[in-house]
Amino acid sequence: MLRPSTGLWRLRAIKDRIGAVLDVSPSKYVWVELDLNGEMIGQWTYTGSMTEWFDPTALTSTGTLYGIRSIDRKRAGIAVFDKTTGTWKPLSRSPKGHLIGAEGDQLVFQSGDDLVWVLASDVRAAESADLR
Protein backbone atom coordinates (compact mmCIF):
# COMPACT_ATOMS: atom_id res chain seq x y z
CA MET A 1 0.00 0.00 0.00
CA LEU A 2 1.38 3.38 -0.99
CA ARG A 3 0.59 6.39 1.13
CA PRO A 4 1.82 9.95 0.89
CA SER A 5 4.35 11.26 3.35
CA THR A 6 3.02 13.95 5.61
CA GLY A 7 4.55 16.56 7.83
CA LEU A 8 7.59 17.22 5.66
CA TRP A 9 8.16 19.04 2.39
CA ARG A 10 8.01 15.89 0.24
CA LEU A 11 6.69 17.37 -3.02
CA ARG A 12 8.97 18.98 -5.62
CA ALA A 13 8.12 20.68 -8.91
CA ILE A 14 10.21 21.86 -11.84
CA LYS A 15 9.35 23.21 -15.29
CA ASP A 16 8.17 19.91 -16.77
CA ARG A 17 7.45 17.56 -13.87
CA ILE A 18 6.29 17.06 -10.31
CA GLY A 19 8.01 14.62 -7.96
CA ALA A 20 6.82 13.23 -4.66
CA VAL A 21 7.80 10.65 -2.05
CA LEU A 22 5.32 7.94 -1.17
CA ASP A 23 5.79 5.71 1.87
CA VAL A 24 5.50 1.98 1.24
CA SER A 25 6.57 0.94 4.75
CA PRO A 26 8.58 2.52 7.58
CA SER A 27 11.84 1.88 5.67
CA LYS A 28 10.72 1.65 2.03
CA TYR A 29 9.85 4.63 -0.16
CA VAL A 30 8.93 5.39 -3.75
CA TRP A 31 9.99 8.54 -5.59
CA VAL A 32 7.38 9.22 -8.29
CA GLU A 33 7.61 11.74 -11.12
CA LEU A 34 4.65 12.89 -13.20
CA ASP A 35 4.57 15.24 -16.16
CA LEU A 36 2.33 18.29 -16.00
CA ASN A 37 -0.52 16.31 -17.60
CA GLY A 38 -0.40 13.74 -14.80
CA GLU A 39 1.31 11.04 -16.90
CA MET A 40 3.87 8.89 -15.12
CA ILE A 41 7.48 9.68 -16.06
CA GLY A 42 8.93 7.13 -13.68
CA GLN A 43 8.98 5.67 -10.22
CA TRP A 44 11.93 4.47 -8.21
CA THR A 45 11.87 2.47 -4.99
CA TYR A 46 14.52 3.03 -2.35
CA THR A 47 15.07 1.99 1.24
CA GLY A 48 16.17 3.66 4.43
CA SER A 49 16.91 2.32 7.86
CA MET A 50 16.39 3.34 11.45
CA THR A 51 19.94 4.73 11.53
CA GLU A 52 20.41 6.15 8.01
CA TRP A 53 17.81 7.79 5.81
CA PHE A 54 17.50 10.27 2.98
CA ASP A 55 15.04 13.13 2.61
CA PRO A 56 14.47 14.17 -1.04
CA THR A 57 14.94 17.93 -0.89
CA ALA A 58 15.94 19.38 -4.26
CA LEU A 59 14.93 18.53 -7.82
CA THR A 60 17.02 20.41 -10.37
CA SER A 61 15.88 21.53 -13.82
CA THR A 62 17.71 18.53 -15.30
CA GLY A 63 15.62 16.15 -13.18
CA THR A 64 18.43 15.24 -10.78
CA LEU A 65 17.23 14.60 -7.24
CA TYR A 66 19.30 15.64 -4.22
CA GLY A 67 18.52 14.92 -0.62
CA ILE A 68 19.64 15.39 2.93
CA ARG A 69 21.38 12.37 4.41
CA SER A 70 20.82 11.72 8.11
CA ILE A 71 22.55 9.26 10.39
CA ASP A 72 21.16 8.64 13.86
CA ARG A 73 18.81 11.62 13.45
CA LYS A 74 21.67 14.04 12.71
CA ARG A 75 22.38 15.66 9.37
CA ALA A 76 25.32 13.94 7.69
CA GLY A 77 25.55 15.86 4.41
CA ILE A 78 23.79 15.53 1.10
CA ALA A 79 23.32 12.77 -1.44
CA VAL A 80 22.26 12.44 -5.05
CA PHE A 81 19.69 9.86 -6.13
CA ASP A 82 20.87 7.45 -8.83
CA LYS A 83 17.73 6.63 -10.81
CA THR A 84 19.54 3.84 -12.66
CA THR A 85 20.19 1.83 -9.49
CA GLY A 86 17.50 3.28 -7.20
CA THR A 87 20.11 4.17 -4.59
CA TRP A 88 21.26 7.32 -2.83
CA LYS A 89 24.92 8.21 -3.35
CA PRO A 90 26.28 10.27 -0.44
CA LEU A 91 28.46 13.19 -1.50
CA SER A 92 31.57 13.64 0.60
CA ARG A 93 31.57 17.43 0.22
CA SER A 94 28.75 19.93 0.26
CA PRO A 95 28.53 23.67 0.71
CA LYS A 96 28.09 25.07 4.19
CA GLY A 97 24.49 25.20 5.30
CA HIS A 98 21.30 23.19 5.07
CA LEU A 99 20.00 22.09 1.66
CA ILE A 100 16.49 23.55 1.29
CA GLY A 101 15.72 23.16 -2.42
CA ALA A 102 16.70 23.97 -5.98
CA GLU A 103 16.19 26.79 -8.42
CA GLY A 104 16.89 25.76 -11.99
CA ASP A 105 20.21 23.92 -11.98
CA GLN A 106 21.32 25.44 -8.68
CA LEU A 107 21.03 23.95 -5.22
CA VAL A 108 19.88 26.36 -2.51
CA PHE A 109 21.42 26.17 0.95
CA GLN A 110 20.48 28.10 4.08
CA SER A 111 23.25 29.11 6.43
CA GLY A 112 21.90 31.11 9.35
CA ASP A 113 19.96 34.01 7.83
CA ASP A 114 21.72 33.69 4.46
CA LEU A 115 20.69 31.78 1.36
CA VAL A 116 23.42 30.50 -0.94
CA TRP A 117 22.91 29.26 -4.52
CA VAL A 118 25.47 26.74 -5.81
CA LEU A 119 25.52 25.09 -9.23
CA ALA A 120 24.66 21.43 -8.80
CA SER A 121 27.38 20.61 -11.35
CA ASP A 122 29.95 22.30 -9.07
CA VAL A 123 28.89 20.09 -6.15
CA ARG A 124 29.18 16.98 -8.36
CA ALA A 125 32.52 18.18 -9.81
CA ALA A 126 33.95 18.59 -6.30
CA GLU A 127 32.87 15.02 -5.59
CA SER A 128 34.56 13.73 -8.77
CA ALA A 129 37.78 15.57 -7.86
CA ASP A 130 37.75 13.86 -4.44
CA LEU A 131 37.56 10.44 -6.11
CA ARG A 132 40.72 10.99 -8.15
Sorted by where each begins, the domain ranges of the chain are: 3-131
pLDDT in tens, 108-123: 999 899 999 999 988 8
125, HSE (Cβ side, Cα atoms, 13 Å): 5
Residue 97 backbone zone (phi > 0: left; psi -120 to 50: alpha; other: beta):
left
Task: Report, as ranges of residue numbers, the positions in the chain whose pLDDT lies below 50.
Answer: 7, 130-132
Whether 110 and 102 have beta carbons less than 8 Å apart is answered as no
One-letter identity of residue 51: T
* 85: Cβ contacts below 8 Å, ≥ 6 apart: none
Whole-prediction pTM: 0.84
Per residue in 74-95, pLDDT (tens digit) is: 878 899 999 999 999 988 877 8
**pLDDT value for 3:** 53
